[in-house]
Amino acid sequence: MRIALVATALAGCEPDAVASAAVTGWKKARPADDIDVIIASDGVPVAHVGTGLSRVFQQEHKDAVANEYCEALGPRRIFWVSETDRCGLLDLAEAATWDEHSDPRGSSAFLAHDIMRALELGLTQIRIHLPALMAGSDVGLGLLSELSGIELSWDSDEQLVVQAIEQARHRIGPLHIVVSYPFGQALAGFDGLAHTWQNAGLDPVLAQDFLQQTSGYVHKLERIRARWDLSFASKPFRRYEFDGVGGGLGLLFVLLRARLSTMGSHLVFPETPSDLYVYVTNAVELHVPSGLSTMTDRSQEEGNPAILVVSRTELLRGELARLGLNGMYKLQSERAEHDFYHDDIVNIFSRLASTWGWDV
């Protein structure tokens, strides 16, 4: 029997450790089975671990080195660099996810410094992972001003904004920017950033102030996008799910020719079909991880079962079929801190092997 195992981080347990324990548990019951392991991340912070994205990067780039920056400008962050593959990773979900208590407004200027570092290091690609809701949100105004060398404000003339974008594109040059995010967040409209902040508990006065300050500037960016990109031209003011991620950085990164996608939407599975697909994650709550959807799409194409192993969820068993799942199992931790240890994962996977294992 062949199993495809997608392992993401659990509280207190990095994704590679989750995978190792899961394989150990399964092999206890069915030692002859083949298990293809996919180390992954859902892109959201998990207690005592972070997003786990750095472990994914290290799996893909064996020489990856961490460079920590703790400057007055911007949050404390780690820039992972692989000199061999000439690529880097900046996980802002781990460094700058909004905590739902502080004022989320600020400046994204620090990100321009990180992009310039990537160019100075001779990298050809930088992967930037954005949280859906980010501390230091400014619709990318600080980033664009710093990259272009043109001082912008919310009231800047549209032609000056166009000039700044062109200057920023020129400065980025051959560097390929790949942007990921855990789930979509609109920038404007009824479900836009200001309303999401307010629903999460931000003072309505602050939320509305942000909306009033930025609405004119956002419309300028939307008009520029519509003129430059034919794929947007027919519906210039359509709202896109990525526009508001990272406090509006999604919209700006489109204009800077970055490639954007949800975390997990490009999971790579072995060519050989699997008899069972298993996804391990910390939580499935308001948003379903994109990686889970990618896995169930693959399992349905092959007509094979898919199951979910999760720590926290409000999913009901009657909803599983809608998600393409054939089963769901909850991980339990008896510890006060709710961290998971190796044996917790080993035990549940031994039971799963006994339930779902069969001889092909």
pLDDT of residue 72: 74
Same domain, 298 and 207: no
pTM: 0.93
Q: Give the tens place of pLDDT for each residue, 52-109.
A: 999 999 999 999 999 998 877 889 999 999 999 999 999 999 999 999 889 999 999 9
For CA atoms 37, 42, 43, 48, the dihedral sign is negative
Same domain, 189 and 328: no
Rounded to 10 deg, the angle between the 245-255 and 141-148 helix axes is 40
Q: Give the tens place of pLDDT for each residue, 111-142.
A: 999 999 999 999 999 999 999 999 999 999 99
Query: Does residue 320 carry a pLDDT above 70?
Result: yes
CATH number of the domain bearing residue 25: 3.40.50
- Would you say residue 181 lies in a domain? yes
Same domain, 63 and 200: yes
Q: Which tokens is 326 given?
A: 């054939």
Question: With bands split at pLDDT 50, 70 and 90, how would you rate the model's confidence at 338?
Answer: low
Q: Give the tens place of pLDDT for each residue, 236-268.
A: 556 688 999 999 999 999 999 999 999 999 999
Structure-model confidence comparison of residues 139 and 343, the more confident one: 139
Question: Which of 262, 296, 319 represents a domain boundary (last residue)?
Answer: 262
d(CA 192, CA 210): 11
Domain hosting 291: range is: 2-42+286-356
Same domain, 29 and 80: no
Same domain, 104 and 169: yes
Question: With bands split at pLDDT 50, 70 and 90, how would you rate the model's confidence at 337?
Answer: low
- Is residue 212 a contact partner of residue 293, using CB atoms and an 8 Å limit? no
The predicted model gives 145-157 an average pLDDT of: 97
Question: With bands split at pLDDT 50, 70 and 90, how would you rate the model's confidence at 234?
Answer: low
Same domain, 213 and 78: yes
Residues 6+ apart with CB under 8 A from 205: none
As beta bridge partners, residue 329 has 309
pLDDT of residue 257: 95
Query: Does residue 235 carry a pLDDT above 70?
Result: no
Average pLDDT, the chain: 92
Residues 6+ apart with CB under 8 A from 237: 219, 222, 226
Angle, CA 257 vertex, CA 293 and CA 180 arms, to 5°: 30
For CA atoms 352, 353, 359, 360, the dihedral sign is positive
Rounded to 10 deg, the angle between the 158-172 and 109-120 helix axes is 30
- Would you say residue 242 lies in a domain? yes
pLDDT of residue 248: 95
Question: With bands split at pLDDT 50, 70 and 90, how would you rate the model's confidence at 190?
Answer: confident
- Is residue 99 a contact partner of residue 135, using CB atoms and an 8 Å limit? yes
Same domain, 66 and 13: no
Q: Give the tens place of pLDDT for each residue, 260-291.
A: 999 999 999 999 999 999 999 999 998 999 99
Same domain, 244 and 111: yes
pLDDT of residue 339: 59
d(CA 57, CA 40): 9
Lowest mean pLDDT among 223-227, 262-266, 291-295: 223-227
Same domain, 296 and 189: no
Same domain, 113 and 191: yes
Lowest mean pLDDT among 155-159, 219-223, 230-234, 266-270: 230-234
Pairing of the two strands 259-262 and 276-284: unpaired
pLDDT of residue 83: 96
- What percent of the chain clears pLDDT 70, i.e. is strictly above it? 94
The predicted model gives 200-209 an average pLDDT of: 91
The number of domains in the chain is 2
Query: Does residue 175 carry a pLDDT above 70?
Result: yes
The predicted model gives 167-176 an average pLDDT of: 97
- Would you say residue 75 lies in a domain? yes
Which is nearest to 53 in space by CA: 4, 90, 13, 17?
90
The predicted model gives 39-45 an average pLDDT of: 97
Same domain, 325 and 258: no
Q: Give the tens place of pLDDT for each residue, 4-33.
A: 999 999 998 999 999 999 999 999 999 999
pLDDT of residue 71: 79
- Would you say residue 48 lies in a domain? no
d(CA 290, CA 41): 10
The predicted model gives 137-166 an average pLDDT of: 97
CATH number of the domain bearing residue 191: 3.90.1510.10
pLDDT of residue 238: 61
- Would you say residue 158 lies in a domain? yes
